[in-house]
Chains A and B, each alone.
Chain A
């Protein structure tokens, strides 16, 4: 059986993925190591242990964040 594709948004960009994919699958596909990233799905912050259990749904807005250089310094959006 063919797996259906769904549209999601990742860090502001449209992207398609398989309908049964999890957050963990998405991270692996993007070659992002799970240590030291935070993932938010529809404004809800995920716990790392739930990455492989949370299935992505059509229209989900996913944000993947990590640490970058910064200090007493403001960085523009």
Chain B
């Protein structure tokens, strides 16, 4: 596919697969998996520096900032105040105004608190952040997020880390038709076919972490995801045939004995 770049808030991305950097065995494995995935956007969390053991290596020593867009998140934040605080810290620590905004509503499901999400997004957008919100597969909430100035939305496919795949393809499809900004399906992917399905539905990109990091062979799964996202995107662009209940012969009847 020539010239099929993803553009969000004026930034161009080559890869439609974005990956998280959590849950890997070590930084070497993280780096190899990211390379195998072909992703050029990687998400990171913001946490306290270990001041007692300074021997620990830093993740960012393994990720060339020229090669990757570092997308910090507000993972672990359960209210507006915390999410805004972490976003500001991420900007202070980093190099850009990009933030993947998470305001979680419940510890068991990690479902987003969409009311809190909208409130936090408003505050951060006013401060000049480029807010990519992690949201539910609710088209109305997604539209509200766009209305207040989010340049893309990141609806979940299933609960974070669940590997359940696309739980509600119809909602996602409606969301993608309704909302006129890039849609990055985030969370819930279990295997390659899930990623392909998300792209076939019309997602502009897919973000995943556990599906790769938690696989038996993370590097092989990262590669599988790269092809799945690519194949799904190609299929979406190609336009699938309509579903029909009955057969349509592929071979002509004419010329038969």
Contact = CB atoms under 8 A, between A and B. Distances in A.
A2 interface: no
A73 B23 contact: yes
Given A10-B51, A30-B51, A30-B54, A69 B45 contact: yes
A38 B209 contact: no
A66 B104 contact: no
A64 B49 contact: yes
B89 A70 contact: no
Contacts, number: 132
Given A71-B22, A73-B20, A65 B46 contact: yes
Nearest to B62: A69
B21 A70 contact: yes
Which of A31, A37, A65 neighbours the largest number of chain B CB atoms within 10 Å of its CB?
A: A65
A36 B209 contact: no
Contact of B47 (A32, A39, A75): A75
A68 B59 contact: yes
B49 A75 contact: no
A69 B22 contact: yes
B99 interface: no
Interface in B45-79: 45-49, 51-52, 54, 58-60, 70, 72-73, 75-76
A46 B160 CA distance: 33
Contacts of A75: 22, 45, 47, 75-76
Given A31-B54, A67-B94, A72 B207 contact: yes
B51 to A, nearest CB: 5
B44 interface: yes
Given A37-B49, A73-B161, A68 B90 contact: no
A66 B43 contact: no
A5 interface: no
Interface residues of B, number: 46
Contact of B160 (A36, A67, A72): A72
B54 A69 contact: no
B48 A67 contact: no
Contacts of A10: 51
A74 B70 CA distance: 17
A45 B70 contact: no
A32 B49 contact: yes
Given A65-B89, A67-B94, A74 B160 contact: yes
Nearest to A39: B92
Contacts of B27: 69
A3 to B, nearest CB: 22
A68 B46 CA distance: 6
Interface string A12-51: 1100000000000000001110001111100101111000
| Closest 3 A/B residue pairs (Cβ) | A71-B20, A71-B209, A70-B45
Interface of B: 19-24, 27, 30, 43-49, 51-52, 54, 58-60, 70, 72-73, 75-76, 85, 88-90, 92-94, 102, 104, 110, 134, 160-161, 186-187, 207-210, 213
